[in-house]
Amino acid sequence: MTVDFARGLLAIGVLFYHVLAYQGHTPLVQIGRFGVYAFFVISGFALYLNYRNLVFSGVALQTYFIARFSRIAPLYYLATGLSLVAYGLSDFSFRKLFLNLTFIFGVANPGEASMVTGGWSIGIEMAFYAIFPVIIVLCGGNLRRLIALCLVSVFTQLVFVNDILTGVSFGDAWVEYTQPVAFFGYFASGCLLGEILLRRASRKGRPGAYIIVAICILPFLFVPLQDSTILTGWIGLLLCMATIFGITAVAFLPEPRGPFRLVAEWVGRMSYPVYLLHPVVYFYVAKLPEAGFHLPLTIAATFVLSEVVHRFIERPSIRFLRSRLGSSARGQHAAA
């Protein structure tokens, strides 16, 4: 629950960053970037907790992929359609459409191929979903192997990022930078975090977690913010570690209770629609003359739209897809 709540807050942070950036301000660039990277840590963590003991064979493996596809696809397809309506067809191509509908774009230059603002991360997420069963087969339940995977992945990620971005502007290197290897260390760290929490569940709720969260937030408040320099060198290493250890500490915070728990559940539930839908919402809000109200209007409209979409489109679509695809998979397995 604490991690889901953090994911919702991070989605709101990305919303703030984008709206301010659209208006020519970039005071939250570190949140705009590392907030998304934290999603990968959370993704690895959540998947590991749910599938650590699952045997990936036959129907079980099909069920896993159906669950992941049905969770991501309905809202992403909706965001793709809304983006085409809002932004027009000037950058449209059937190649891009095919890559987005199949999610192959996650390994085909997602930063260039995505048809949705922020969608590049969803493509990479789907690539990680495909890799995850291999992680479970090789490392599931084995702390030493998970630590080794995490260390190798983070090291490779840092080498790649520094090689791509050092001495180059972030915008010029965007396509080369947005590749799965640049973020796999975060996902692998999330898997390791899942194993650690399962082994140290008794430590959840201890006050020390609050201190670690606060310490991990400090670098994001005081590091110099200059283009890609927050991703490279010692600053990049510091913020990468702060992201990983910050989410780790959040996982060990006490679970919310009472009315706050309901708020935390709702904010966490809204994280995915808020993340994908706020750019399109801002596109229309920006047409209004009251520029000073663009941010609050975007926030309010995004949450209203996200709730409507979640309740009437996303949730029914997930149930439908899992029911239809799941019954089809069971039928094929029985026939075999």
From first to last of its 336 residues, the chain has per-residue pLDDT tens of 799 999 999 999 999 999 998 888 877 788 888 999 999 999 999 999 999 987 766 778 888 999 999 999 999 999 999 999 999 988 889 999 999 999 999 999 999 999 999 999 999 999 999 999 999 999 999 999 999 999 999 999 999 999 999 988 888 999 999 999 999 999 999 999 999 999 999 999 998 999 999 999 999 988 776 656 789 999 999 999 999 999 999 999 999 999 999 999 999 999 999 999 999 999 999 999 877 789 999 999 999 999 999 999 999 999 998 887 766 545 544 444
pLDDT for the residue numbered 292: 78
| Maximum CA extent, the chain | 63
pLDDT for the residue numbered 57: 67
Contact in structure between 225 and 196 (CB atoms under 8 Å) = no
**The tokens 């939250």 sit on which residue?**
28
Nearest Cα residue to 214 out of 237, 246, 236: 246
Query: What are 234's two structure tokens?
Result: 């010692």
Terminal-residue alpha carbon distance, the chain: 40
How far apart CA 114 and CA 118 sit, in angstroms, is 8
Residue-range definition of the domain harbouring residue 80? 2-335
Query: What are 203's two structure tokens?
Result: 């430590």
Query: What are 226's two structure tokens?
Result: 């200059």
Tell me, letter by letter, the H, E, C secondary structure of 122-152. Answer: HHHHHHHHHHHHHHHHHHCCCHHHHHHHHHH
pTM, entire model: 0.95
How far apart CA 44 and CA 186 sit, in angstroms, is 8
Residues whose CB falls within 8 Å of the CB of residue 110, separated by 6 or more in sequence, listed in order: 119, 120, 121, 123, 124, 178, 179
Number of structural domains, the chain?
1
